[in-house]
Amino acid sequence: MKNSSLTICLSIGYPLKNSKSPAIHNAGYRALGLQAEYAFLPAQVRPENLEKTINGLKDLGIRGVSVTMPYKEEVMKYLDEIDSVALKIGAVNTIVNRNGKLTGYNTDWKGALVALEKKTKVDGKKVAVIGAGGAARAIVYALVKNGAEVKIFNRSVDKAEELAHEFGCEFGDLDSLSEVVSSDIIINTTSVGMNEDLSLVDESFLNKRQIVFDIVYTPKETRLIKTAKEKGAQVIYGYEMLLYQGIEQFKMYTEMEAPAEEMEKALLESL
Ligand code: ATR
C-alpha cells in the first residue's frame, strides 16, 4: 500500500528525544515547495518493536528512515540489502525503500568529510581521532579513504587498537593525548562535552595551526570548541556533520538537490 499523495520519511531511535532530522528535512521540503508532497516525522521505537517496525515500512510505503541511537547496527539484520560502505563501517544510519526493497546506507562518514573539506583537504594531514565507537568508525573510514594519516586515541585502548588494526592506523590511550599538539586536525568523537562543560583535550595541546572538530552538537559551543577558538584554532561544529549527513539523506529520499542553506538555518534554530 503506497499513499500516492504523500511521501513519508521517519527518524527512529530509542529514546528519541530531540531528533533534529525532522526539522532539517521538513525545512528542505518547504524550501523546494514540496511540503504538501513530503513529510518527515519522528517515531520512537521500543527495542522489542524494531523488527516489526522495519518490516512494516514496506506495507506502509515509507520512503526512507533515518536511524539513530541505539539501532544503527541492529537494524542491519532486518534489511534486504546493505551498501558496501555501510558494511565496512558496520553501521546503517539511512534506509531507502525502493519499490518494497529496503537498502541500508551510511551517510555519517560523508557528513564528516564534507564538514572537514569546507576547511581543508584531508589528504596527507595528520589527524587525531579521539574515541573508538560507532561515530569514530565512520569518521576513520572517511579519513583513511581520503589519504589522511590517522591516530586513534581511546579510553579503552583495546578498542582503539582493534579499530586502528582494521583501518590501518596508529592508536594510543588517553594518557598519550598530549601528542595531539603536533596534529593538523583533532576530532572528538566521544560524548564528552555533551550537556557538560568538559573536554578531554587540555588547552596546552591546542594551537592556531590546528583544525579542531567536535562532533558533539549540544551545546553548539562545547568546552573543546571554546578552548580551540581561544587558542586561535579553526573549528568545525558538530552540527555541521549532522547537517551534511542529512543533506546526503535528503538527496537519496527525494532524488533532488538539497537546499542546504535553508536546512542549515532550521537546524541552527532547533539547537
Ligand atoms: P558512538 O556510536 O556515539 O560513537 P559509542 O559507540 O558508545 O558511541 O562510543 C562512545 C565513545 O566515547 C567510546 O570511544 C568511549 O570510550 P570507551 O571505548 O573507553 O568506552 C568514549 N567515551 C564515552 N564517555 C567517555 C568518557 N567519559 N571519557 C572518555 N571517553 C569516553
User: Ligand 1 pocket by C-beta < 6 Å: which residues?
Assistant: 131-136, 154-156, 159, 189-192, 200
Residue 62, all three cell numbers: 515509507
Full strand arrangement of the beta sheet holding 38-44? 38-44, 7-13, 64-67, 94-98, 101-105, 81-82
Distances (CA, A) of 68 to 86, 183, 244: 14, 30, 15
- At residue 5, the pLDDT reads 85
Residue nearest to atom 9 of ligand 1 (CA): 133
pLDDT tens, residue by residue, 21-42: 999 999 999 999 999 999 999 9
pLDDT tens, residue by residue, 96-130: 999 999 999 999 999 999 999 999 999 999 999 99
* Residue scoring higher pLDDT (179 or 1): 179
Nearest to 129 by CA among 117, 139, 114: 139
Residue 72, all three cell numbers: 544503527
Give CA–CA dist 86/30, Å, rounded. Answer: 30
Mutation test residue for ligand 1: of 187, 190, 192, the one with most atoms within 8 Å of CB: 190
- At residue 4, the pLDDT reads 61
pLDDT tens, residue by residue, 34-73: 999 999 999 999 999 999 999 999 999 999 999 999 999 9
- At residue 1, the pLDDT reads 47
Residue 12, all three cell numbers: 527512529
Q: How confident is the model at residue 213 (pLDDT cuts 50, 70, 90)?
A: very high
Give me the catalytic one of 72, 110, 125, 151: 72
Q: What average pLDDT does the structure give for the chain?
A: 97
Residue nearest to atom 14 of ligand 1 (CA): 131
What pTM was computed for the model? 0.96
58 is catalytic: no
Asked if 9 and 25 count as a contact pair (C-beta separation under 8 A), the reply is yes
